[in-house]
Amino acid sequence: MKKNNKICAICKRKVEKHDNFCNYHFLALLNIEKNFQTWKDAYENLNWKEYLEKLIKNEENGIWVQEVAKYLITEKMEGSNV
């Protein structure tokens, strides 16, 4: 992969800080990861995928978070191993 022409995996904007996401989706990803800890405290058996599904269903999370959550779920289904 060349460094100079990376684009966001979701919206195809030019990537600046993160390898796969533009600043908007990268910030959403950070929030998703940060909030997962809080959610895990609230729902004992919550796993990552269930958490993402909750995010997608809850429109209060905003479009960026929903798009990132959808992307992450798709990635998981295709067998990526993070």
65: contact with Zn ion by CB under 5 A: no
Q: Which of 4, 5, 6, 10 binds Zn ion (CB under 5 A)?
A: 10
52 with 36: CB under 8 angstroms? no
32: contact with Zn ion by CB under 5 A: no
Distance between CA atoms of 19 and 27, rounded to whole angstroms? 13
**CB-wise, 23 or 40, nearer to Zn ion?**
23
Residue among 21, 19, 55 nearest 35 (CA) = 55
Q: Which residues are registered as beta bridge partners of 7?
A: 14
8: contact with Zn ion by CB under 5 A: yes
Q: Binding residues for Zn ion, per CB under 5 A?
A: 8, 10-11, 13, 22, 25
